[in-house]
């Protein structure tokens, strides 16, 4: 009995090595995408990774060129009813709105008059620069940390840092394990992006340089304890959405992604950037919010042509072979189990 048992272990180990030998680190043990349903999207992702890491295959990509760009709001975490960056910006605007020197100026007047919602639809990116005017960057980081840990989502009643989609974090870990270089590209204020993502241990292997967002103009002074950065009341070009994402891929990364993952029209240029890599196999993914029960069903609340319409959403810029991830059908689980 013991002999048979050991032989089985040995055989199982041998088979495990055999299976893994051709695919490098494709899966260290168990199912690396265990939170994904056994459906075509998961198979396509695993097949793609196997192909590009197989040095003998025609689709091989050397590790240094395995660039991944992932959107944040609505792709890595819940963005409804409002993205964390916008929740943060509006909380700062409301703090500042009563200051006498800001009377008569937007967006502070809107904040005082409860009209931010209207203004944000037109000029959301304007909020980032204006909202923190004069604040030191260290103070901004501290305020974002407090928000992520303490402020609770109006519907799910849990802190914002618990609103990351676990299957997406697992996908990033799987790609990192296979020597992909992952960048998070978000339209939100870059300091919010870095600070919020730093709350997740699953993203701890990504240094701050891998988080690219919209930049707020800063100035710097030199004190006794090193440089002190403080915010000016405007953003820098380019705002990191749509064309801005393609531009920042060139400016900040300098290599085209072979995998791009988004969820909105703001991500289409990033998906199109994969065609610049020159590699035969590249992957474009759009997350579809179609789960009104566990998260949101965008199609039910929006006019045709907006978020709900994916995967057709990006076909103009990024072609037709975009894979659509259904939150309803592809995610076994979305958020971590509630502690209460």
Task: Pick from 50, 158, 200, 243 the residue near a copy of itself by CB under 8 A.
Answer: 243
Quote the tokens at residue 9.
């272990």
Contacts of 315 (CB under 8 A, 6+ apart): 322
Task: Pick from 104, 227, 304, 337 the residue near a copy of itself by CB under 8 A.
Answer: 227
Task: Pick from 57, 276, 292, 311 the residue near a copy of itself by CB under 8 A.
Answer: 276
Is residue 277 close enough to count as binding a copy of itself by CB under 8 A? yes
Is residue 219 close enough to count as binding a copy of itself by CB under 8 A? yes
Euclidean distance between CA atoms 225 and 136, whole angstroms: 14
Neighbour-count burial of 330, counting CB atoms closer than 10 A to its CB (0-12 exposed, 13-18 middle, 19+ buried): buried
In this complex, which beta carbon is closest to a copy of itself, that of residue 225 or of residue 340?
Answer: 225
Task: Pick from 236, 281, 299, 323 the residue near a copy of itself by CB under 8 A.
Answer: 236
Find the shortest distance in angstroms from Cβ 225 to a copy of itself: 7
Neighbour-count burial of 154, counting CB atoms closer than 10 A to its CB (0-12 exposed, 13-18 middle, 19+ buried): exposed
Find the shortest distance in angstroms from Cβ 10 to a copy of itself: 36
In this complex, which beta carbon is closest to a copy of itself, that of residue 224 or of residue 293?
Answer: 224
Peptide bond into 238 cis (omega under 30): yes
Q: Which 157-196 residues touch a copy of itself, going by CB under 8 A?
A: 181, 190, 194
Is residue 286 close enough to count as binding a copy of itself by CB under 8 A? no
Give the gyration radius of the chain's Cα atoms.
22
Stretch that binds a copy of itself, among 30-38, 145-153, 272-280, 299-307 (CB under 8 A): 272-280
Is residue 63 close enough to count as binding a copy of itself by CB under 8 A? no
Interface mask toward a copy of itself for 189-218; x: CB under 8 A? -x---x------------xxx-x---x-xx
Size of the site for a copy of itself (CB under 8 A): 41
Is residue 69 close enough to count as binding a copy of itself by CB under 8 A? no
**128: closest CA among 218, 206, 211, 207?**
218
Euclidean distance between CA atoms 126 and 128, whole angstroms: 6
**199: closest CA among 127, 244, 151, 269?**
151
Is residue 220 close enough to count as binding a copy of itself by CB under 8 A? yes
Euclidean distance between CA atoms 124 and 118, whole angstroms: 10
Euclidean distance between CA atoms 218 and 233, whole angstroms: 9
Give, rounded to a whole angstrom, the gap between the first and last alpha carbons of the chain: 46
Is residue 37 close enough to count as binding a copy of itself by CB under 8 A? no
Interface ranges with a copy of itself (CB under 8 A): 64, 137, 181, 190, 194, 207-209, 211, 215, 217-220, 222, 225-227, 229, 236-238, 243, 246-247, 250-256, 269, 272-278, 317
């Amino acid at each position: 009995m013991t002999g048979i048992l050991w032989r089985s272990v040995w055989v199982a180990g041998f088979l495990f090595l055999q299976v893994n030998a051709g695919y490098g680190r494709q899966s260290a043990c168990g199912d690396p995408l265990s939170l994904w349903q056994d459906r075509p999207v998961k198979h396509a992702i695993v097949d793609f990774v196997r192909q590009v890491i197989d040095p003998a295959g025609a689709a091989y990509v050397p590790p240094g060129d395995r660039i991944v760009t992932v959107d944040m709001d609505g792709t890595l975490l819940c963005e409804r009813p409002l993205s964390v960056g916008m929740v943060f910006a509006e909380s700062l605007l409301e703090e500042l709105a009563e200051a006498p020197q800001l009377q008569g100026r937007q967006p502070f007047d809107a904040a005082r008059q409860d009209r931010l919602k209207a203004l944000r639809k037109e000029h959301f990116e304007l909020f980032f620069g204006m909202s923190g005017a004069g604040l030191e960057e260290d103070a901004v980081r501290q305020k974002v940390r407090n928000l992520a840990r303490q402020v609770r989502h109006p519907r799910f009643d849990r802190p914002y840092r618990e609103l990351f989609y676990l299957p997406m974090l697992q996908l990033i870990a799987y790609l990192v394990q296979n020597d992909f270089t992952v960048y998070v590209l978000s339209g939100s204020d870059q300091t919010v992006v870095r600070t919020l993502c730093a709350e997740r241990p699953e993203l701890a292997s990504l240094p701050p340089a891998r988080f690219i967002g919209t930049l707020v103009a800063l100035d710097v002074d030199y004190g006794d304890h090193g440089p002190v950065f403080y915010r000016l009341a405007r953003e820098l070009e380019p705002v990191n959405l749509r064309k801005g994402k393609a531009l920042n891929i060139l400016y900040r990364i300098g290599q085209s992604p072979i995998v791009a993952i988004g969820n909105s029209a703001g991500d289409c240029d990033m998906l199109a950037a994969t065609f610049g890599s020159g590699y035969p196999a590249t992957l474009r993914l759009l997350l579809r919010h179609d789960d009104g029960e566990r998260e949101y069903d965008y199609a039910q609340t929006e006019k045709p042509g907006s978020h709900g319409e994916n995967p057709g959403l990006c076909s103009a810029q990024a072609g037709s072979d975009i894979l659509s991830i259904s939150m309803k059908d592809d995610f076994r689980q979305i958020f971590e189990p509630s502690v209460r």
